[in-house]
Structure 1
Amino acid sequence: MKEILDGPGIPSILPRTSASSWFKPLTSRVDFDVPKRWLQLCSSLHKCHRLIEEVGPSRLIDCNARVIIPTGQTANSAYVTLSYVWGSSAKDDTASIPALETTSWILPEELPKTIEDAITVTQELGYRYLWVDKYCIDQSRSEDFISQVQQMDLIYRNSVLTIIDAAGHDPFKGLPGVRPDSRSPIQPSVSVGDYELYSTMHRPEWDIKTSRWSTRAWTYQEGLLSRRRLIFTAQQMYFECQGVYCKEALDFPTDGLQELHLDSPKKGHSLHEDFRRANGMGVFPFRLIGANVWEIYARMTEYSGRSLTRDDDILNGILGLFRYTGRTRYPIINLWGLPYRL
């Protein structure tokens, strides 16, 4: 009992005979029905799933055919994006990618595990197309690289979901729980009469904020600009959109989660916002990039504290955020005289 009460997370009572408990024992493999319910909840209650503009990346991975194709061949189909840490020892298997304006390119037979797992997640959630910078940007052509880097706000905000690897230091470890026995959640539990007492584990927000992913400059705008995020930590999955956050070990019924989104009498305000601010919950700022100069300044401060492999990428790593601030209802195009619109 002491191990449960003193262990990570909040101790949770799970009736042994109940099949509808809110508290879900973690297993070595992900139950993809869980993130499907999260996405359905978001689609039914929020505006997160709506496209910002009818613009997207120039190329996508067709997960079924395992080829990279121009987006003109996808008929504006929904796509998923991946955010991960490149690492310093990534094998360069993208050098032979041809110009893809009129042709497709077959993916290598052996992909880094994180990218292979992202393909699996995309298919398990019912989608076909995936955007991964390593394969969907021609790294050898500077004009293609700059063009796509400048479109990062549209690439991530127009995707239906961003998969985030917050467990690895490079793309070779894989997403925990996607492959059989690819994670070993040590979840303390004890039987007490007709009940099981479980730990709900570490708050995944803490694991994400202290991850390697959260230290890298390139991943900053990828997470911030995304409308819906499915994050893999070493212990469990975590979902956060602009209206809700869910973790795998607490499988709340969707009708209960809906109560957090009832509008209060104050227009544009919600009980969810009050609850989140009062409890310091969530990974990303509630107002995301922000709507005034002070919030934008806070985002610049956060970005400046992140690390880059190449110092000359410091501007490229945030071009998407710059573009976004210039296209809002009240555009911010400079910060104390420094131009934003590039």
Structure 2
Amino acid sequence: MRLINVHTLELEEFWGREPPLYAILSHTWGSEEVSFREWKDRESISHKAGYRKIRDVAQLTESFDIDYCWVDTNCIDKSSSAELSEAINSMFAWYSNALCCFVYLDDVASVDEEHSKKMRLKRRSGGYTFDALQDSRWFTRGWTLQELIAPACLVFLSKNWEIIGCLKKVSRGRDWPGVWLEHWFYMSTDQIQIIEEEIIDDISRITGIGRESLTIREDYEDQSIAVRMHWASKRKTTRVEDMAYCLLGLFKINMPLLYGEGSAAFQRLQEEIMKVSVDQSIFAWSSEPLGIEKDSGYISLMAPWPSAFTNKYIVRTKASPRAAVDSVYTLTNFGLSIQLPLLVDIRQQRYLAVLECADSRFLEPSANHVSKPERNTFYRLCIPLNKSEYDGTYSRVSPSKFPTAVRIENIPTTQRIHVPRLGRLVPSNVCSVSCETRVREGGRNYVFHMFTTPNQVISYVRPMAITNSCTFCPHCQRLIVERPTSGPDIAQICVVVAFQDRKPAGVWKRRFIFRVRIDFEKDRDSLSCDFTCCNPSFWNYVPGQILDKTRGRVELGLMAAQVRGPRGYRELPAFLGFDKADETQVERETTKMLVFEWDQESSSRIKIPGMDEEEAS
């Protein structure tokens, strides 16, 4: 750990030994921050706002009779990935161990009493207005959340470095330096207490964090995972990965940093949390505020972002009478293995997984003094699940819906269920095809995985020029094409697979035709995929985002949709080319994803090329 000597402004290192007492700065970054390397030549950066900020906080620290301070801009060598990773994993502890945390709000001005009366502003006793505090960037950044929760003592400063508030937390073995504040405020202890109460109420109102978590230092550990995630739900970070990394300390997690992994960082964070916690509120999220259901990507039972946790009332519940030790969940190479009580809806073939968490609003007496539930009655949050007919795995249904609060008199028996790590989110109007290239020693094959909606079935498979190297499995909806190992230098395989809606008689059925043609050439293979459907919207998933990771040469072309006939069906061709595998490369796998979306307003009957009217009906 590096600290700034406030008397000399020199950086001193305390690696492997206990650092002295220090103050720490919490702030939002500006455009003229100074780095660790720039700090070595302070004369050349003395004109920058970042230098003046460090100088001012050093002077403030010295006036509080503290010899050292820490600022994230120049105390971390960010050119060293190892040091940056260690610093981020240690950040929560550094803020927690600081004697005092100065919160510098560079966009909040202090207002004197006379000016506030003249402008009719609701001035707080600390000299700020609630509107100014609420609009501060400090409450919108991801990193500042832990800087609010971790420290035992916080002093809030306006942009002119005037103290406008303070926040003390009940903590073990540490006294609040009240003498300092009395000296700076020129006020009595009672007046300082009024200032403190006002800013606590304002911060709680702005952030949604309860007073207990703001005033009791260890209270955040007692909050459910969903509640802590909710605290971060409206915050942002510059880097996508930082939205996960800034929460490490809040959940007492240490994990390596992999900048470039994108949203996978938050998935890793949740997996690490599952290894040390059995708090099932981690599954109590909703994708409605994210609009995820409009996106046909992949998600699992885990949330895609902290912003999916919109309910701040979720609490952990005591284990139900039938809860067993084996109800804990584990992560395997397949995915998530968890034992949960399941409520079964036989009519709709749906399941409700009962979580060991509840909405606190259902646990307290209501305004009309209705008594609490009886002893054998439980309120639990439940999430709807679908069970696959093919492999018995479960997937979440309608993640846009909030978990349902259900009153349960008898908790059902728990069942062990398996959820793939990347569960497919299939909205009711989306189909997709995944093409997987498998290169093995001595050969190559192409595997096409057909993802359809629950109410669509295979209605037709027609080999147009097929060989014994092509097989189709109707149960798992997978087409496997193996490259011929002998024969002419150029060969061709073409297969047509048709899907239709499972609807009652007399209702028009929509069709989806997948036609694949592979030309096996001497140096490379060419893959042509044609999708024929009734009035689909154009591609709503950009394949290029996945093709970037492919080795060798890949070609992709999307032709403009062609509208044929009065019934308005469209044909969307996509062409992908795969280079012949390097002879030195023994094994390789490449996956492509092509997704399109149905136009729900259309219910026209389409004519399928190559099929007569009787087959098409």
TM-score (norm 2): 0.33
Query: Match for residue 79 of structure 2?
Result: 140
SS at structure 2 position matched to 1:229: strand
Give matches, 1:74-85, under 5 Å: 76-85=19-28
Distance 1:285 1:324 in 2: 23
Q: CA deviation at 1:308?
A: 1.3
2:167 to 215, 221, 240: 240
Query: Match for residue 162 of structure 1?
Result: 101
Deviations 1:6-27 (A, max 9, x none): xxxxxxxxxxxxxxxxxxxxxx
Q: CA deviation at 1:146?
A: 0.9
The residue identity in structure 1 corresponding to 2:212 is R
2:211 to 286, 293, 297: 286
Query: Match for residue 221 of structure 1?
Result: 146
Query: Match for residue 114 of structure 2?
Result: 188
Distance 2:253 2:78 in 1: 24
Contact 1:216–1:308 (8 Å) recurs in 2: yes
Q: CA deviation at 1:290?
A: 2.3
Contact 2:58–2:69 (8 Å) recurs in 1: yes
Give matches, 1:23-172, under 5 Å: 58-71=1-14, 76-87=19-30, 89-95=31-37, 110=46, 112=50, 113-168=52-107
SS at structure 2 position matched to 1:135: coil
Query: Match for residue 211 of structure 1?
Result: 136
Deviations 1:274-313 (A, max 9, x none): x88xx9465564332524343x422211212112111121
Deviations 1:59-96 (A, max 9, x none): 11111121111125986310000011113x23554346
The residue identity in structure 2 corresponding to 1:287 is E
Distance 1:74 1:114 in 2: 28
Contact 2:36–2:75 (8 Å) recurs in 1: no
Check 1:186–1:137 CA distance in 2 against 1; reply closer, same or farther (3 A cut): same
SS at structure 2 position matched to 1:138: coil
Check 1:232–1:125 CA distance in 2 against 1; reply closer, same or farther (3 A cut): same
SS at structure 1 position matched to 2:246: helix
Q: CA deviation at 1:131?
A: 0.6
Q: CA deviation at 1:254?
A: 2.5
Distance 1:332 1:207 in 2: 39
Q: CA deviation at 1:224?
A: 1.4
Check 1:136–1:80 CA distance in 2 against 1; reply closer, same or farther (3 A cut): same
SS at structure 1 position matched to 2:74: helix
Query: Match for residue 188 of structure 2?
Result: 253
Q: CA deviation at 1:209?
A: 3.5
Distance 2:77 2:91 in 1: 15
Distance 1:205 1:199 in 2: 7
Check 1:324–1:188 CA distance in 2 against 1; reply closer, same or farther (3 A cut): farther
Query: Match for residue 235 of structure 2?
Result: 306
Distance 1:73 1:336 in 2: 36
Distance 1:249 1:149 in 2: 32
Q: CA deviation at 1:144?
A: 0.6
% identity of equivalent residues: 21
Deviations 1:160-199 (A, max 9, x none): 001111234xxxxxxx8xxxxxx77443189xxxxxxx98
Contact 2:25–2:69 (8 Å) recurs in 1: yes
Distance 1:255 1:312 in 2: 44
Check 1:200–1:250 CA distance in 2 against 1; reply closer, same or farther (3 A cut): farther
Structure 1 or 2, whichever has the larger Rg, is: 2
SS at structure 2 position matched to 1:301: helix
Q: CA deviation at 1:139?
A: 0.7
Point out where structure 1 has 5 or more consecutive residues left out of the alignment.
Answer: 1-57, 98-104, 169-175, 177-182, 191-197, 261-271, 326-330
Query: Match for residue 321 of structure 1?
Result: 250
The residue identity in structure 1 corresponding to 2:21 is A
The residue identity in structure 1 corresponding to 2:114 is P
Distance 1:185 1:293 in 2: 36
Check 1:310–1:228 CA distance in 2 against 1; reply closer, same or farther (3 A cut): same
Point out where structure 2 has 5 or more consecutive residues left out of the alignment.
Answer: 117-122, 171-175, 214-218, 255-275, 284-301, 303-328, 330-617
Deviations 1:242-299 (A, max 9, x none): 15998999865237878x9xxxxxxxxxxx9xx88xx9465564332524343x4222
Distance 2:124 2:98 in 1: 34
Check 1:336–1:96 CA distance in 2 against 1; reply closer, same or farther (3 A cut): same
The residue identity in structure 2 corresponding to 1:240 is L
Contact 2:182–2:189 (8 Å) recurs in 1: no
Contact 2:126–2:164 (8 Å) recurs in 1: no
Query: Match for residue 171 of structure 1?
Result: none
Distance 2:9 2:185 in 1: 34
The residue identity in structure 2 corresponding to 1:61 is I
Distance 1:199 1:126 in 2: 28
The residue identity in structure 2 corresponding to 1:90 is E
The residue identity in structure 1 corresponding to 2:78 is Q
Contact 2:26–2:144 (8 Å) recurs in 1: yes
Check 1:206–1:220 CA distance in 2 against 1; reply closer, same or farther (3 A cut): farther
How many equivalent pairs are there? 233
Distance 2:155 2:282 in 1: 35
Check 1:135–1:186 CA distance in 2 against 1; reply closer, same or farther (3 A cut): same
SS at structure 1 position matched to 2:212: coil
Distance 1:59 1:317 in 2: 20
The residue identity in structure 1 corresponding to 2:36 is T
